[in-house]
């Protein structure tokens, strides 16, 4: 199989994509490629919980999207954060673990005609990958909780850690008491099927650090599998659609821009879009799949007219009310002094607790906007702080914020390309508050907020409504006010919705296949026909694909314990035992392309041995790595020729140069190596200057080094290939 041909190609390394990679690569016979437009999640603010403040609006981790001017928001535009890094939005979101309500999944079953989407059928998949902190001591937990939640102790895989928050606030405790006085019951579990109640949110953290999906599902598990490959900082530009002999259309691969050139990756089985509710419809439209009129407008050949691609956008719009308080500590006052900031930093450094460990919202509440609502239809995010908008400084006065959102908006928006260029952002038009029902819920929810704050539990702190202000009373005033102050909480879904065969706007089948295109699926929040009644991240990890049967094309991704994953459409027949050259190819690819694996191996001999263990083959030679000091994790890959030169050249896909060193062309480009037409190393380019190479001695092996930078380069590891194992040793 070619170096750019895989069984499965997954586009997007976020919440859904990471889980997909983990499950699909578990079968060692299938090669899996992950394409992620963002960089690796090695930015420190990703992992410190409060770091979302520095990740949103940061080009290092965010796509930097903005909405179109919105009539429902009185002409305003909103910042629309989307994760652009490994882990996707799970690397920059609020970390709240929320499945939604059972009725959400039952509604999906009705809309798709597939009962396997019902809550009772989805629950085993949630339980399988969950690692809930209360089940660390399962003997102290009742049976009903064990029925709803999972960990390794209950037979699951336990990758997705759920923990309680590591702080409390007096002002939030008082708000919770006030909510109970207003008729909202207390709850300690928002994920049992009905999330009605008030309590502290549980979060995706581990020991005070953010637990994103890259940590949970990719490393170290996938990094240690030779059949898994990852291309970070590589953006999918266009899907390849070919017409088959029988007249059907099939997705056979994807064109990828790696920052230097366009590379074509091919899939023998399926391409899976997991780029999110904004980027997945954009890529489909750029590839000629979408509304025909829109595609022709931008000069794109229509491959398949699917009017639902980019339609049906749904999102949660929150209305932020700010209340000034007295006689209680809030983050506003704590963080507005040098001593307060030092105290916050010291607490996190010593205990991994305190404000630096907190999610954007700590306290939650689910209730009804009016008595005639049949179920909880609004959600509160309550915070011991106030600011004008995320990214803005905290206010100087003590205050808390009670943000409320409509869980089930009837407004529908769209995502549409603006040009035929993959580099250009699409037009995001949520059309918030565009229906009378949504405006009514907005007005009613503000009244509920005021009723809670008026209870005696909060009276000792003398709360005063600072924003929006008590002068707004009528439905009309409150709805207009909501348009002035409301903002998104970043839960876009539905832009590639699944549905019944007779639904003209359904993009996907209930098994998440793109209608009319074989070999192509969309597996992300865009597949949801309706938005979940709560934070959307956990809902993306429910039942992802058909667990089997005649309709399944990919194995079940989250099989309940005891069920064996299988491929309904099996890969081509392959020998069960790899030949020497095949094993060599796999280990070479493992070392050459995925430099993360080597770094991981160097940290632990045991982990490295498990990751790189091979058998039944041998190779005379040494693989050597060099790294410029000061460039974290940036590794030059050099294969030193020894013994069978032709095998090494074939394995690494490289040419021999005068120093007798093989190099990976892509990595050479990253290190500014200038190569001649015959594979000869000409020199190292720094800006517009070309420096000649010189030969240095690294472990008694000749390797090329820039004459200017000789002093800044040193070997960091030697990896010797033996017949039974690969052993890495530090210098």
Catalytic residues: 491
Tell me the two tokens of residue 594.
Answer: 């995925």
SS3 percent helix, strand, coil of the chain, rounded to 5, is 30, 25, 45
Distance CA 427, CA 113 (A): 32
- What b-and-e string marks burial along 385-419, b requiring 16 or more CB atoms within 10 Å of the CB? bbbeeeeeebbeebbbbbbbbbbbbebbbbbbbee
Measured distance CA(552)–CA(571) in Å, rounded: 14
Report cis status (omega within 30 of 0) of the bond before 459: no
Cβ–Cβ < 8 Å for 409, 314: yes
Say which residues have a Cβ less than 8 Å from residue 571's Cβ, sequence separation at least 6.
7, 29, 30, 268, 269
Strands 363-367 and 317-324: unpaired
CA–CA dist 452, 457 (Å, integer): 9
Closest CA to 287 of 466, 592, 517, 5: 517
Beta partners for residue 197, in sequence order = 366
Question: Which single residue is written with the structure tokens 């062309």?
Answer: 665
Q: By the 8 A CB rule, do 277 and 493 touch?
A: yes
What's the rounded Cα separation, in Å, for the pair 510 and 500?
7
The rounded distance, in Å, linking the Cα atoms of 218 and 221 is: 6
Angle at 718 between CA 603 and CA 592, to 5 degrees: 80
Question: Sign (positive/negative) of CA torsion 232, 234, 235, 237?
Answer: negative
93: nearest Cα among 728, 538, 616:
538
Cα four-point dihedral sign 71, 72, 73, 79: negative
- φ, ψ (nearest 5 deg) of residue 222: -70, -35
């Amino acid at each position: 199989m070619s170096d750019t041909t895989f069984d499965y190609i997954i586009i997007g390394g976020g919440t859904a994509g990471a889980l997909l990679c983990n499950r699909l690569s578990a079968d060692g016979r299938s090669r899996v490629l992950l394409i992620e437009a963002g960089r690796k999640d090695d930015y420190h603010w990703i992992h410190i919980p409060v770091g979302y403040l520095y990740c949103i609006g940061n080009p290092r981790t965010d796509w930097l999207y903005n909405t179109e001017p919105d009539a429902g928001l009185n002409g305003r535009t909103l910042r629309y954060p989307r994760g652009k890094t490994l882990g996707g939005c799970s690397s920059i979101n609020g970390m709240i673990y929320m499945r939604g309500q059972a009725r959400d999944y039952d509604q999906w079953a009705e809309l798709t005609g597939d009962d396997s989407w019902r809550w009772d059928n989805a629950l085993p998949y949630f339980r399988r990958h969950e690692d809930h902190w209360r089940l660390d001591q399962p003997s102290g937990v009742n049976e009903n909780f064990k029925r709803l939640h999972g960990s390794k102790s209950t037979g699951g895989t336990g990758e997705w850690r759920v923990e309680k928050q590591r702080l409390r606030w007096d002002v939030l405790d008082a708000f919770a008491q006030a909510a109970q006085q207003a008729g909202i019951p207390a709850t300690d579990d928002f994920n049992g099927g009905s999330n009605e109640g008030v309590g502290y949110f549980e979060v995706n953290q581990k020991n005070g650090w953010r637990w994103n999906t890259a940590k949970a599902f990719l490393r170290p598990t996938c990094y240690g599998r030779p059949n898994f490959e990852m291309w970070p900082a590589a953006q999918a530009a266009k899907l390849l659609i070919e017409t088959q002999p029988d007249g059907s259309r099939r997705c056979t691969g994807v064109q990828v821009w790696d920052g230097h050139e366009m590379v074509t990756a091919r899939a023998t089985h399926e391409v899976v879009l997991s780029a999110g509710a904004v980027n997945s419809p954009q890529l489909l439209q750029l590839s000629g799949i979408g509304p025909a009129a829109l595609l022709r407008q931008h000069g794109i050949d229509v491959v398949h007219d699917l009017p639902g691609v980019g339609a049906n956008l749904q999102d949660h719009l929150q209305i932020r009310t700010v209340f000034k308080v007295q006689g209680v500590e809030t983050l506003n006052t704590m963080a507005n002094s040098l001593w307060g900031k030092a105290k916050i930093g010291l607490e996190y450094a010593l205990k991994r607790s305190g404000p630096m460990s907190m999610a954007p919202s700590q306290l939650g509440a689910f209730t009804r906007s009016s008595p005639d609502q049949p179920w909880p239809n609004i959600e509160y995010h309550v915070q011991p702080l106030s600011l004008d908008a995320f990214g803005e400084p905290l206010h100087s006065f003590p205050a808390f914020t009670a943000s409320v959102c409509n869980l089930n908006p009837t407004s529908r928006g769209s995502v549409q390309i603006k040009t035929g260029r993959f580099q250009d952002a699409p037009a995001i038009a949520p059309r918030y508050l565009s229906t009378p029902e949504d405006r009514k819920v907005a007005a009613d929810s503000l009244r509920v907020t005021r009723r809670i704050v008026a209870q005696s539990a909060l009276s000792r702190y003398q709360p005063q409504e600072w924003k929006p202000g008590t002068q707004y009373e009528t439905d009309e005033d409150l709805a207009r006010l909501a348009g002035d102050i409301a903002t998104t909480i970043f839960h876009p879904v539905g832009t590639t919705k699944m549905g019944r065969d007779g639904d003209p706007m359904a993009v996907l089948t209930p098994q998440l296949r793109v209608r009319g295109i074989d070999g192509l699926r969309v597996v992300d929040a865009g597949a949801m026909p309706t938005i979940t009644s709560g934070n959307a991240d956990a809902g993306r990890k429910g039942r992802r694909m058909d667990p089997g049967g005649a309709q399944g094309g990919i194995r079940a991704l989250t099989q309940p314990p005891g069920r064996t994953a299988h491929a309904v459409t099996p890969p081509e027949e392959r020998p069960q035992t790899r030949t020497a050259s095949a094993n060599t190819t796999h280990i070479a690819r493992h070392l050459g392309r995925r430099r993360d694996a080597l770094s991981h191996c160097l940290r632990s001999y045991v982990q490295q041995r498990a990751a790189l263990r091979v058998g039944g083959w041998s190779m005379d030679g040494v693989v050597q790595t060099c790294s410029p000091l000061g460039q974290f994790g940036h590794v030059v890959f050099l294969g030193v020729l020894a013994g069978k030169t032709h095998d090494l050249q074939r394995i690494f896909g490289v040419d021999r140069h005068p120093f007798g060193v093989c190099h990976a062309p892509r990595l050479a480009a990253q290190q500014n190596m200038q190569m001649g037409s015959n594979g000869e190393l000409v020199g190292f380019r720094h800006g517009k200057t070309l420096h000649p190479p010189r030969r240095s001695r690294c472990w008694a092996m000749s390797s090329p080094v820039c004459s200017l930078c000789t002093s800044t380069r040193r070997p960091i590891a030697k990896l010797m290939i033996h017949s039974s194992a690969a052993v890495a040793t530090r210098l």
